[in-house]
Structure 1
């Protein structure tokens, strides 16, 4: 991605109360769930998008098998349909 391209950004407070900024790399649906793939300089997060009373919020995925399964399926989908550059 070119340096001058702007990504959506989100700020998350972790379980320790630390505030971190992330770029939204992807939003996608899988098995009737919506997910967000977030990146920062230090790490990558996969979070589930939940809706309640017309509001959306992010929920961390704590099950490592669920996380790996979703990331693997996402990688296969990206390889099958690469983004135009």
Structure 2
């Protein structure tokens, strides 16, 4: 299986540690936009804010909110018709 081309982003945490993530998906939910990011050992979701051309990612500090968004995304993917 060939590797799928991906965009990558480097995120720096509050302690200054940088980690590289692949952008797995961009999606909208309840009038908000999100990015699903994956590294070797974790998957995170971040909120996209700003206007097109001047957008930035914001962390979701509430683990329950983040998990609820990930769960809803997974359900949507599973229920989407196959192409």
Specify the alignment match of 1:40 in structure 2: 39
What is the TM-score with the length of structure 2 in the denominator?
A: 0.87
Distance in 2 (CA, whole Å) between partners of 1:64 and 1:30 is 17
User: Could you give the per-residue CA deviations for residues 24-82 of structure 1, whole angstroms, max 9, x where no partner exists?
Assistant: 00100001100001001121111000105951111111112211221111011000116
Distance in 1 (CA, whole Å) between partners of 2:41 and 2:64 is 22
What is the TM-score with the length of structure 1 in the denominator?
A: 0.85
Structure 2 unaligned spans of 5+: none
Distance in 1 (CA, whole Å) between partners of 2:7 and 2:52 is 23
- What RMSD in Å do the two structures reach over aligned CA positions? 1.9
Specify the alignment match of 1:20 in structure 2: 19
Distance in 1 (CA, whole Å) between partners of 2:23 and 2:8 is 6
